[in-house]
Structure 1
Amino acid sequence: MSRPPALPPLVPGVSILCHRNGDVLLIRRGKAPYAGFWSLPGGKAEAGESLLQAAQRELLEETGVTALLGEPVDALIIESRKEDGAIRARFHLTVFMGAYVSGEPIAGDDAAEACFMPLSGLDNLEMTPGTAERIRKLMAC
């Protein structure tokens, strides 16, 4: 019997829901997967940094914004697939949420655009899977 291919290891990453006056900070992804789709800022944790430090760094690098981030509010596993459907990479994302502190949204790093968006505008955007629902759920808490 042949064995299924081994799954790639889980890579630790972060996602950040920064809010200001009821609006949420979004980025339009500049790279695959989901290039051109809107999402929350985030990325991989670097060696030696805590997940909170990774969240603060990724938020600033991708958007130029800082936020008062608290404890993690959610976690999920994201799989990136090849064209043939095989799993390319797996990410364990820890979601942080916090109120805007400073900075004006300017796309940087992997982001093509960055802006604050009212919740009512989420339905008009092509977003990464599950992101709009996650934002609404977390903002309702």
Structure 2
Amino acid sequence: MTGDEMKGPKREYPEIPLVGVGTVTIKNGKILLVRRAFDPGAGKWSIPGGLVEVGEKLSEAAARETEEETGIQVEILELINVFDMIDLDDAKRVKYHYVLVDFLSKPIGGKERVCDEVTDIKWVTFDEAKTMDLTKTARKALEELFGSSIA
């Protein structure tokens, strides 16, 4: 499955902003990261997440997306942040426009596995995360939660 074949609304050059959710899941002082298979951010490390489905609460979507991408069931603990992610193409047209809502969560069950949307899963410390090739949105969520800039 390619990024274009993923279910749901058109992600590239959308007609309206899309609502996405993510989780910063922490276990034993380590953060759960996934390596993205598709754009935006293909090949980069990110927090688990995806789009909210019609009729779904934000926290439910965040928990569902985390389990879909990693096999790990989570309990949503609190809101971390809400922000816009707007990427323009070379012609200055909006290629991606997301309103993103990130949550802090903890694992409560499940078994780790990758899905077709991610190529790898890794538990890392904040210091390790700072040295990784993170998506802009993952970097923003971690900086907001830990109160420290990631260079």
CA drift of 1:98 comes to 1.3
Q: Answer whether contact 1:11 1:90 (CA < 8 A) is retained.
A: yes
CA contact (8 A) 2:102 2:141 kept: no
TM-score (norm 1): 0.84
1:71, distance to aligned residue in structure 2 (A) = 3.4
CA distance in structure 2 between the aligned counterparts of 1:21 and 1:102, rounded to whole angstroms: 15
**Structure with max Cα Rg:** 1
What 5-or-longer segments of structure 1 have no aligned partner? 1-6
| Within-5 A mapping of 1:114-133 | 114-129=121-136, 131-132=138-139
Q: TM-score, normalised by structure 2?
A: 0.79
Equivalent runs, 1:51-62 vs 2, <5 Å: 51-62=58-69
Alignment length (residue pairs): 134
Identity %: 26
| Structure 1 residue ranges, 4+ long, deviating more than 4 angstroms after superposition | none
| Letter of the structure 2 residue corresponding to residue 101 of structure 1 | I
For the residues of structure 2 that align with 1:73 and 1:83, how far apart are their CA atoms? 32
Which residue pairs with 1:4 in the alignment? Answer: none
1:37-85 per-position Cα deviation (integer Å, ceiling 9, x unaligned): 0011101001111111111110000010111102322111112333433
Of 16, 26, 29, the match for 2:36: 29
Taking only aligned residues, the RMSD between alpha carbons, in angstroms, comes to: 1.9
Return closer, same or farther for 1:11/1:38 CA change in 2, 3 Å cut-off.
same
